[in-house]
Chain A
Amino acid sequence: MSKQQPAQFINPETPGYVGFANLPNQVHRKSVKKGFEFTLMVVGESGLGKSTLINSLFLTDLYPETVIPGAAEKIERTVQIEASTVEIEERGVKLRLTVVDTPGYGDAINCRDCFKTIISYIDEQFERYLHDESGLNRRHIVDNRVHCCFYFISPFGHGLKPLDVAFMKAIHNKVNIVPVIAKADTLTLKERERLKKRILDEIEEHNIKIYHLPDAESDEDEDFKEQTRLLKASIPFSVVGSNQLIEAKGKKVRGRLYPWGVVEVENPEHNDFLKLRTMLITHMQDLQEVTQDLHYENFHSERLKRGGRKVEIEDMNKDQILLEKEAELRRMQEMIARMQVQMQLQMQGGDGDGGALGHHV
């Protein structure tokens, strides 16, 4: 969307001009009218700043009442799924954004089951879409499939934790994973580089498929190519979130105020927040496409392979029933024929007796 050319409506009288160069504008107008839908899932241990980051990214307050559960409640809690939808409009373009939060992830002492809830939620959305798509009225399919998952990695570890690896391997075939290093203001620059490298090495070692930004096409301008290259080099993004306005160097910026300095959220030297935002906005369409073309298709084929057999069984049952009924009919017909023969014999044996008997059947 950042590479739009201004609408050029060339004079139709120009010789050799057919007019389909105007198609992109038509698509653009239609999509603006329709609006965009995007579902973003955030997963990570509690206390990593997920809510703050989401609020910072979309400059909204999706979590107005941050009720932090007490320690006693945390012990009994299992992972829950909380989806909140918000409609954001900017310059006439409407975005219906759904953020799926997963409180309780990673909190329990034994986290073996904590991602089952999340995986079943993702599958459920795919199932719903599949059902809608196979239905009769396909006009207004609501797309609630999860298009992107921000996975928050703790900056305090030495890389990925066993839970991180297990979770990512469980969902990398279902959703686009974008790993994010949270609370990046606790790391110095060197530590950040080391951690990023270590995470990338571990991702490769465990064969985890994270979302890869598509390379810029050769016909794009240099700036865009450079931007894409920078973005690709910074994965995983190390971010800091905040919606508080702090006074720094004479102007008000969003940041965090410490006794030793101010961390500015939108300063590319301090953290990768801007890069994350750029990536999300520029590639929102691509994320949706990959979800549709790759993850959904995977789910689709898996489901039909499983579900197909179910349908066959039902047909088989019907066939079986038909066959059985036919067999029964044949048996009854044979029985009747035998009885008729018997009657005939009896009639021939005893002439005077009920000739009428034979016709009872």
Chain B
Amino acid sequence: MDPLRRSPSPCSSSRPSSPSTPPCEMLGPVGIEAVLDQLKIKAMKMGFEFNIMVVGQSGLGKSTMVNTLFKSKVWKSNPPGLGVPTPQTLQLHSVTHVIEEKGVKLKLTVTDTPGFGDQINNDKCWDPILGYINEQYERYLQEEILITRQRHIPDTRVHCCVYFVPPTGHCLRPLDIEFLQRLCQTVNVVPVIARADSLTMEEREAFRRRIQQNLRTHCIDIYPQKCFDEDINDKILNSKLRDRIPFAVVGADREHLVDGRCVLGRKTKWGIIEVENMAHCEFPLLRDLLIRSHLQDLKDITHNVHYENYRVIRLNESHLLPRGPGWVNLAPASPGQLTSPRPFKVCRGAHDDSEDEF
């Protein structure tokens, strides 16, 4: 962990210093900074979990993108684009891998949604997806309210949902808007412009501006959400990102030789599109956002905001507030209740208070 780069700490349950405690003068080095190393060692031992969901119409390169992001064949089954018949209904398909890099283990779960938006009548095609996301929250909740809890609750909650917008060049379609409106209240959504190699640079910019305008008009709050910027550094960094979202991405899992280097790209008769070249597409930005800079932040927001919202609604519904240590009786959720949770933005700090009551 680079101490110079400001990154949120891995244990999100640590209490930040409240504004009323004044910092105290230190007379000499004590060795507090060694706690960072201890955290690092613990984290490496435990490993990290990351759950990502990719949503979009078939053929937009979702599977290829996931393979490119994690530089591995996450999808071992059919190669993308070949003879996969469109499923009649939306299905959810999860695959889990453990990836290791320099001693850091990442348990990655990718959920694909084949059949989304492919039918003639796509009404309510987002219901299975919302149901799945809420189901993961429910699973975590059930584990959390047990009297004897596991030391480390397995986290299957979806941390990030990447939504693939087809590169029409015009604006968001009604289906996109309906879906984004509903999902932004439940999970972190990062929209991307898929297959961006069909748009020239000017078309890309115009499309991006129009999408941003559409998102503003329909009050769709995508990740990184403005209200969760903690300080000025966050604001600056995230504003830069927000200006570029949705990223125009191209995915490729084949390597080609360009100027003596081996690069991931797509080879066409008129040139080679390099996936990791910022002049060609914005894939590096997406990768940095998802993995290099905001992975922990995505998990934090999922845990502190989206999961808390879900939990509050569930507890209110069962009309049982926690009364004392170890006493909670929560009926399992019925599937019909929770497809569209009411937006109830809980600030990050509130999580600590409810932990005390428990």
Contacts and interface: CB of A to CB of B under 8 A. Distances in A.
- Interface SS of chain A: helix, strand, loop or mixed? loop
6 contacts: A47-B169, A109-B121, A109-B174, A162-B119, A185-B268, A259-B279
A162 B115 CA distance: 11
A47 B167 contact: yes
B273 A260 contact: yes
Contact of A260 (B119, B120, B271): B271
Contacts of A70: 171, 214, 217
Interface string A252-278: 000011111111100001100000000
B133 interface: no
B111 to A, nearest CB: 20
B29 to A, nearest CB: 51
Per DSSP, chain B at the interface is: loop
Contact of A194 (B82, B274, B280): B82
A108 B121 CA distance: 9
A68 interface: yes
Contacts of B166: 47, 154, 156
Contacts of B59: 154, 156-158
A194 B59 CA distance: 13
Interface residues of A, number: 46
Interface in A1-56: 45-48
B171 A258 contact: no
B20 to A, nearest CB: 47
Contacts, number: 125
Contacts of A269: 269
Interface of A: 45-48, 68-72, 74-75, 107-112, 154-159, 161-163, 166, 183, 185-186, 188-189, 191, 194, 198, 256-264, 269-270
Nearest to A187: B268
A112 B267 contact: no
Interface stretch (B39-47, B195-203, B322-330, B335-343): B195-203
Nearest to A76: B174
Interface in B227-279: 266-274, 279
Contacts of A156: 57, 59-61, 166-167, 194-195
Interface string B133-174: 000000000000000000000000000000000111111111
| From B120, B166, B171, B177, residue with most partner A Cβ within 10 Å | B120
Given A260-B270, A260-B271, A260-B274, A158 B81 contact: yes
A158 B86 contact: yes
